Amino acid sequence: MTVLAVGEGRRGLVVGGVAVGLAGVVGLHGVIPNSPGQVGSLGESFLPWCGVVVVLLTGVALVRRSGVGLVALLLPVGVWVHSFGGLLLPPPDPGARELVVVQHNVSDENPDPAGTARALLAAGGDLVALQEVVVPALAVYEDVLGADYPHHVVHGTVGLWSKYPIQKEQLVDIRPRAFEAGWSRGLRAVVRTPYGDVAAYVAHLPSVRVGVRGLASSPRDESARMLGDIVRGEKIGAVILMGDLNSTVDDRGLEPLTSQLNVAERGFAFSYPAALPLARIDQVLARSAGVSHIRTLPATGSDHLPVAARVTLDPLPPSGRPAP
């Protein structure tokens, strides 16, 4: 009996030790060093999935009747709920100054751009941001989206379709130094919405690769820093950034953006890969506005799922003009 009790106690300590370590990873991920192999960024890309590990550990503790393990598991449960529990809440009621924004990497190998465009129309967005818009498919998107979105702009392989007039538009240079001159994946447009002018940015940050040496993300991180500097200098108060940022909002690689823009308050909206979504790398971020909810839309011919976000703009100042 004594030997059995000792064995059960050790098993409980093992579960408890893993539970404490898991709580540290979720709650203190920012202190995990990023070298070697960008291990910090890699772990941050999948932080929400730590909740699944907690569930599995709870099952182990119950099967083994480990009171020590169950008590220890309260720590990672609390940390996970604090970090991600709000994302599970239902969507709030629509706001008075709300825009619906649709974001989609349509894939440069999409076999059905017309079907993809029709699927995006069904979301009823005010703005539609697309990436990987290649020349053969561009005319299709313009034709299908044109009736509902009479205003649009395309630079390189990114585009924005809007129900409201676009006053100004320009290329945004976020090309990493090592990339060839033809690489163009950023734009800025001033959209005249019923709630005031909004600086709308569409971006597609460089891809990352996961290999035996870890996460290769230097070009993405460089591009994120460039975009962060541009957004920081934006004179219009209200900003909406839409794009395939090849990163989750927990990844420190996006800190130049997430440190100054609001992220989605509710909804996980894992968007990639479409066949088995593991992470949301398609983002809608905002300044002088809140992203109250984000959700995925049905699959298209792309390897990404589309996402739709509800963006509530801050109230106008007493003058009735948009904040500077």
Amino acid, single-letter form, for residue 322: P
Per residue in 145-156, pLDDT (tens digit) is 999 999 999 999
Q: What is the rounded average pLDDT of the residues 81-102?
A: 94
The pLDDT of residue 212 is above 70: no
pLDDT at 2: 45
Distance of alpha carbon 49 from the chain centroid: 15
Give the rounded percent of residues in the chain with a pLDDT score beyond 90: 74
The pLDDT of residue 211 is above 80: no
Grade residue 15 by pLDDT with cuts at 50, 70 and 90.
Answer: confident
Helix 67-84 vs helix 2-27: angle between axes, to the nearest 10 degrees?
10
- The answer to whether the CB of 156 falls within 8 A of the CB of 127 is no
Per residue in 29-52, pLDDT (tens digit) is 888 887 777 888 888 888 999 999
Tokens 């709030």 identify what position?
92
pLDDT at 191: 98
The pLDDT of residue 3 is above 60: no
Per residue in 266-313, pLDDT (tens digit) is 999 999 999 999 999 999 999 999 999 999 999 999 999 999 999 999
The pLDDT of residue 127 is above 60: yes
- The answer to whether the CB of 66 falls within 8 A of the CB of 14 is no
Q: Both tokens of residue 263? A: 């992220």
- Mean model confidence pLDDT for the chain: 91
Per residue in 233-263, pLDDT (tens digit) is 999 999 999 999 999 999 999 999 999 999 9
Grade residue 14 by pLDDT with cuts at 50, 70 and 90.
Answer: confident
Closest by alpha carbon to 43, among 299, 252, 291, 227?
A: 252
Grade residue 92 by pLDDT with cuts at 50, 70 and 90.
Answer: very high
pLDDT at 122: 96
